[in-house]
Chains A and B, each alone.
Chain A
Amino acid sequence: MTVIKSVTCPICGCLCDDIEVTVENNEVVKMKNGCAVCEGKFLGYKGEHRTKKPLIRKDGKLVPVTMKEAVHAAAEVLANANYPILYGWSSTSSEAQRVGVELAEEIGGVLDNTAVVCHGPSILGVQEVGIPTATLGQIRHRADLIIYWGCDPWSAHPRHLERYTNFTEGRFEKSEWTSYMTKLKAHAGNRKLASAMRIEDSKAKPKPQACYVGGSPPELSKGGRKLIVVDVRKSMTAEMADFFIQVEPNKDYEVLQALRALVKDKELDVDSVGGVPVEYLQDLADALVNCEFGVIFFGMGLTQTAGKFRNIEVAIQLVRDLNSKTKFMIMPMRGHYNVTGANVVSSWQSGYPYGVDFSLGYPRYNPGETTCMDVLLRDELDASLVIAADPGANFPKNAVQNMVKHPLIVIDPHMNATAMLGDIVFPAAFVGIEVDGTAYRMDSVPIPLHKVVDPPAGVLSDEEILKKILEEVKIIKAKNAKVA
């Protein structure tokens, strides 16, 4: 039995690297420090449905083949494709991503990562106006005002508050853990009371409120770290917040722009914005201006609702304006553990973070034109390679239909929806459990991933599989060139 410390969790953009894993007979048997999602992955990675041999679709059925056969088949498809897409890349190591860029370049394909359906708009926003940001430790040590906008870390990034924001002890700011515990208990009590009263009077359903403000402005002037949540619904994180603002769906842009005007001491003609009375916004604006060090974390509630990258642009502009009055930062809550790495690697090799089209022999970038979702919806592709992502499960139906019309190569540890639809399927080792590598945290800090157990015999890493395909593609292309 071995206990391995400082293991990095390959789940979300938090990349918690303090996990303790106990391994016995090449199996993870015990975990410490991880959240529930982390434990689920480390203890459940073995999975009963796991395939250990490459598969090729023959007569409509996926049948096991040798690695050599699968590599050759995949390389044949890619080397001869006119407009292939290479999509995914977020749940694998930068080492694999590096090979991916070279493969995309070699076959003249469109390289895209899952940012296109999550924080791609954040990048577009940043390209318009820049971004004042910092590493998470800077926020831990200094931030006295933390805003979560359109995201619910309590559910999606479970240890974010504990490791980086309100519940962590910094050099200049203390943890607010105890006061939140008290508050949570009070909330729980209130809920019980409310539910009891609902049973009493089931007819009196609470009317949905356009704007709910929990807490009152005095809480915004309390000492210590403050937590503000802005969302369209009262999320788990909002329950804990000192101040919660409920915005009508798809009205974040207006609210943010109004805040910008208020921060600049302008008067508005309207009484409410996005369902929020202007006086609440004024309170919020005052809180923003009066903090020592503030930060906005934003999620898909901002990036994927009406306005998309303009929402991010305006949020950044607000933060930028605030820096003339105080210190203020902003950061996207990146989802997959190495989606940031996919952007980072793609940028250093090609100059562009996602949606890179190599079809003309050099990298080109124009989301809407060179992004794989758009290529799929316009059905311009003739082959695809999907790695470390599951578009088959979460892309729009039209996109998936167009994807499966053409040869589909899948590299993934799971037999996921995309793999089920695939024509050539490579089972891969779990990066961060069975292979090591590097991943980039949501604040772009690189953190090593660790191998804690061996992969099943014959199962290779993403990097190894990609290298084999790349090598074979080069051989086929050289042959083709000779024939020509």
Chain B
Amino acid sequence: MTEIIIKNGFVFDPINKINGEKMDICIKNGKIVESVNEHKAKKIDATGLTVMPGGVDIHTHIAGGEVNTGRMVRPEDHIKDAVSKTALTRSGSGYSIPSTFVTGYRYSKMGYTTVMNPSMAPLEAKHTHEELNDIPLLDKASYPLIGDWWFVLEYLQKGDLESCARHVAWMMDTTKGYAIKIVNPGGLESWGFGKNVHTIDDQVPNFCITPREIMVGLAKVNTMLNLPHSIHLHTNNLGLPGNYLTTLDTMRALENVPNNGKPVAHITHLQFSSFGGDGWGSMKSAAPEISKYINNHNHMTFDMGQVIFTDTTTMTADGPFEYTLYQLSGHKWVNSDVETETSGGIIPFHYKKNNAVNTIQWSIALELALMIEDPWKIMMTTDHPNGGPFFAYPKIIAWLISNKARMATLKLCSKKGQKKSLLPTLNRELSLYELAIVTRAAQAKALGLKNKGHLGVGADADVAIYNVNPETTDIANKYKGVRRAFRSAAYTIKDGKIVVKDGEVVENVSGRTMWLDVHTTEKVKVDDDMRNRFKQYWTVEFDNYPVYDHYLKVPQAIAVKASI
């Protein structure tokens, strides 16, 4: 295998506390090593360039039934963004829901090497994995949706945490999943009959359980199983004015769950959960209230869910929320409930600058990123494609590092929205070091990916090199250049191979699909009882339900020893 030495770059590696030091990075056999034979190794001259670990996305909808239905219903989204075949790359199409190959290429061109697909209905997990196999150049993993899974509801209702935990462990293996995903807990089961829950203490119809009990129960299960990531949570009342109160209730509810000092939950796309006001007219930012709480507590992590002003496609397992969006937009609406497990919905959505609510949403995400003091707590996402397509990340980078960039956008926005934006009061500008935290290091840490998000010896040789000279560039002032640099990486290295050079794909590799192989002392017993229950709950046979190993092109099992 080729050895590579990246010479003289400015290295930003926050996990190892390296802040722009000029140093060499050595790569051998797909790993970062102490040193290589300088004569034999391929040299990359990174003089004057920024070197970071490969980007890590903690939450991006790129594959699976929901995403693909989005593709199917939006030919108008693709026709404006056709991608031609080349000698090396497959053809495809964008825009907000790119085809699989295009997804891989576009992420890699931005220096990303690991992405997490946060929403996988267990029943449709095979589909997700089939698509992940067709997403090149990236390591991937998926979170099964199990917050409203009947097994979970029943065990938690009975207070039988251990059985719940064993079945969750079984589910990780069965779906080849990576983390517990909870969406609008209790709301999805209610949506089965067109209802929803509105506080974390509402009763879920037919199940005698509340969202609070689901969240706390699964957080405890997560601890019992020692899963590398915490529960990954999409809160109740998402996307509704005044929902920050629910979000505060949710965070408080999880304060006392023990997790050996690690975060107990990750609230995803926080922007959508931080609305103040009591109607769309009075809707305003609740970033001050939310960030104040977060600055005083350390039991959770978050990601932004930044809104981009463009025509995108919203898709989430939160069926009732998508129905609300449909009532607002009147455009096409897809609903896709999944038996025994979850629901889902899709709505095309155009975030417009001249719309006050959209402007406030855009502002909230940035306010959160700037008002939450510890960058390790709030990571950069758009909740692709819900807030906007992932390839708009360079725009967010510009907004994060430059007040000037923020003001340039804000002044184009709705006057009413501008008035309500708190951005003019926030002068914080992220440094490249902090940027490396919010785009890779914090993600890897929150996900418990020990070999990702850093460049220490033994880490996976996933590296991004950007054409930014931190010594000579005032990044806040020259944000356009930084934006350009992060749009097309000078180099992206995946597993020790140069896959992108100057923003173009130069080699094709298949990434891995990571999943958790959770060992509990007692496994779920597959007896007649389990099979019968299975027959009653689902419409597929027990033996046809699991994602068998051959569904993963390049599998990487991560062994986890549970404490039960």
Q: Which residues of A contact B327 (CB under 8 A)?
A: 324
Q: Are A128 and B206 in contact (CB-based, < 8 A)?
A: no
Nearest opposing residue in chain A for B150, CB measure: A171
Our pick among B63, B78, B323 for the contact of A323 (Cβ within 8 Å) is B323
**Shortest Cβ gap from A477 to chain B (Å):** 11
Q: Does B562 contact A (CB under 8 A)?
A: no
Interface SS of chain A: mixed
Q: Are B339 and A351 in contact (CB-based, < 8 A)?
A: no
Our pick among B71, B85, B536, B544 for the contact of A348 (Cβ within 8 Å) is B71
Q: Does A320 contact B (CB under 8 A)?
A: yes
A-B CB contacts (within 8 Å), total count: 190
**B183-209 near A? 1/0 per residue, CB < 8 Å:** 000000000111000000000001000
Contact A135 B539, CB 8 Å, known A329-B335, A363-B82, A363-B93 = yes
In the bound complex, CA of A453 to CA of B127 (Å): 26
Our pick among A141, A323, A351, A446 for the contact of B127 (Cβ within 8 Å) is A446
Contact A129 B548, CB 8 Å, known A105-B90, A135-B539, A445-B540 = no
In the bound complex, CA of A448 to CA of B547 (Å): 9
Contact A135 B339, CB 8 Å, known A142-B192, A344-B127, A349-B134 = yes
Nearest opposing residue in chain B for A94, CB measure: B130
Q: Are A133 and B336 in contact (CB-based, < 8 A)?
A: yes
**A88-113 near B? 1/0 per residue, CB < 8 Å:** 00000010001000100110000000
Q: Are A130 and B337 in contact (CB-based, < 8 A)?
A: no
Q: Are B99 and A348 in contact (CB-based, < 8 A)?
A: yes
Q: Which residues of B contact A140 (CB under 8 A)?
A: 339, 539
**Shortest Cβ gap from B561 to chain A (Å):** 30
Q: Are A351 and B193 in contact (CB-based, < 8 A)?
A: no
Q: Does A123 contact B (CB under 8 A)?
A: yes
Contact A320 B538, CB 8 Å, known A134-B339, A352-B75 = no
Our pick among B75, B97, B100, B192 for the contact of A138 (Cβ within 8 Å) is B192
Q: Does A191 contact B (CB under 8 A)?
A: no
Q: Are B346 and A130 in contact (CB-based, < 8 A)?
A: yes
Q: Does B84 contact A (CB under 8 A)?
A: yes
**Shortest Cβ gap from A236 to chain B (Å):** 23
Q: Which residues of B contact A329 (CB under 8 A)?
A: 335, 337
Contact A127 B75, CB 8 Å, known A136-B339, A137-B539, A349-B134 = yes
Q: Are B335 and A352 in contact (CB-based, < 8 A)?
A: no
Contact A327 B194, CB 8 Å, known A130-B332, A362-B85, A446-B127 = yes
Q: Does B293 contact A (CB under 8 A)?
A: no
Q: Are B538 and A446 in contact (CB-based, < 8 A)?
A: no
Q: Does B541 contact A (CB under 8 A)?
A: yes
Q: Which residues of A contact B337 (CB under 8 A)?
A: 133-135, 138, 329
Q: Which residues of B contact A454 (CB under 8 A)?
A: none
Q: Which residues of B contact A141 (CB under 8 A)?
A: 192, 339-340
Q: Does A176 contact B (CB under 8 A)?
A: no
Q: Are B124 and A292 in contact (CB-based, < 8 A)?
A: no
Nearest opposing residue in chain B for A132, CB measure: B335
Q: Are A131 and B334 in contact (CB-based, < 8 A)?
A: yes
**Shortest Cβ gap from B385 to chain A (Å):** 13
Q: Are A446 and B126 in contact (CB-based, < 8 A)?
A: yes
Nearest opposing residue in chain B for A325, CB measure: B194
Q: Are B323 and A444 in contact (CB-based, < 8 A)?
A: no
Q: Are A293 and B339 in contact (CB-based, < 8 A)?
A: no
Interface-central residue, B72, B77, B85, by most chain A CB under 10 Å = B72
Q: Are A123 and B338 in contact (CB-based, < 8 A)?
A: no
Q: Does B173 contact A (CB under 8 A)?
A: no
Q: Are A347 and B72 in contact (CB-based, < 8 A)?
A: yes
Q: Which residues of A contact B83 (CB under 8 A)?
A: 362
Interface-central residue, B78, B101, B536, by most chain A CB under 10 Å = B78
Interface-central residue, A136, A365, A438, A445, by most chain B CB under 10 Å = A445
Give the A interface residue count (CB, 8 A). Answer: 63
Q: Does A8 contact B (CB under 8 A)?
A: yes
Q: Are A132 and B69 in contact (CB-based, < 8 A)?
A: no
Q: Are B92 and A361 in contact (CB-based, < 8 A)?
A: no
Q: Does B458 contact A (CB under 8 A)?
A: no
Nearest opposing residue in chain A for B76, CB measure: A127
**A304-331 near B? 1/0 per residue, CB < 8 Å:** 0000000000000000100110110100
* A residues 44-84 touching B (CB-CB < 8 Å): none
Q: Which residues of A contact B82 (CB under 8 A)?
A: 362-364
Q: Which residues of B contact A105 (CB under 8 A)?
A: 85, 90-91
Q: Are B127 and A448 in contact (CB-based, < 8 A)?
A: no
Q: Which residues of B contact A136 (CB under 8 A)?
A: 339, 539
In the bound complex, CA of A127 to CA of B539 (Å): 28
Q: Are A444 and B127 in contact (CB-based, < 8 A)?
A: yes
Q: Does A353 contact B (CB under 8 A)?
A: yes
Q: Does B542 contact A (CB under 8 A)?
A: yes
Q: Are A351 and B93 in contact (CB-based, < 8 A)?
A: yes
Q: Are A349 and B78 in contact (CB-based, < 8 A)?
A: no
Contact A132 B333, CB 8 Å, known A142-B192, A344-B68 = yes
In the bound complex, CA of A130 to CA of B69 (Å): 10
**Shortest Cβ gap from B173 to chain A (Å):** 16
In the bound complex, CA of A89 to CA of B420 (Å): 54
Q: Does B74 contact A (CB under 8 A)?
A: yes
In the bound complex, CA of A275 to CA of B152 (Å): 51
Q: Are B346 and A349 in contact (CB-based, < 8 A)?
A: no
Q: Which residues of A contact B541 (CB under 8 A)?
A: 5-6, 17-18
Our pick among A129, A138, A438 for the contact of B126 (Cβ within 8 Å) is A438
Q: Does A149 contact B (CB under 8 A)?
A: no
In the bound complex, CA of A90 to CA of B337 (Å): 25
Q: Does B558 contact A (CB under 8 A)?
A: no
In the bound complex, CA of A358 to CA of B539 (Å): 37
Q: Which residues of A contact B537 (CB under 8 A)?
A: 137, 171
Q: Does B65 contact A (CB under 8 A)?
A: yes
Q: Are B93 and A361 in contact (CB-based, < 8 A)?
A: no
Our pick among B71, B536, B548 for the contact of A448 (Cβ within 8 Å) is B548
Contact A362 B91, CB 8 Å, known A130-B334, A329-B335 = yes
* A residues 1-41 touching B (CB-CB < 8 Å): 5-6, 8, 17-18
In the bound complex, CA of A315 to CA of B347 (Å): 19
In the bound complex, CA of A323 to CA of B324 (Å): 11
Q: Does A447 contact B (CB under 8 A)?
A: yes
**B49-78 near A? 1/0 per residue, CB < 8 Å:** 000000000000001010011011111011
Contact A343 B72, CB 8 Å, known A105-B85, A135-B539, A444-B124 = yes
**B308-340 near A? 1/0 per residue, CB < 8 Å:** 000000000000000100110001111111111
Nearest opposing residue in chain B for A126, CB measure: B73
Q: Are A348 and B100 in contact (CB-based, < 8 A)?
A: yes
Contact A365 B75, CB 8 Å, known A135-B338, A138-B192 = yes
Q: Which residues of B contact A18 (CB under 8 A)?
A: 541
Q: Which residues of B contact A5 (CB under 8 A)?
A: 541, 543
Can you name 17 A-B residue pairings with CB atoms under 8 Å?
A5-B543, A102-B90, A126-B73, A126-B334, A127-B72, A130-B332, A131-B334, A135-B339, A140-B339, A320-B326, A323-B323, A347-B68, A348-B71, A350-B91, A352-B75, A360-B84, A362-B85
Known: A17-B541, A134-B343. 20 other contacts (CB 8 A): A98-B134, A126-B72, A130-B333, A134-B337, A134-B338, A135-B338, A135-B539, A163-B539, A171-B537, A320-B333, A327-B192, A348-B68, A349-B92, A352-B72, A353-B72, A361-B91, A362-B83, A438-B126, A438-B130, A444-B69
6 nearest CB pairs, A to B: A137-B339, A130-B332, A351-B93, A327-B194, A134-B337, A132-B335
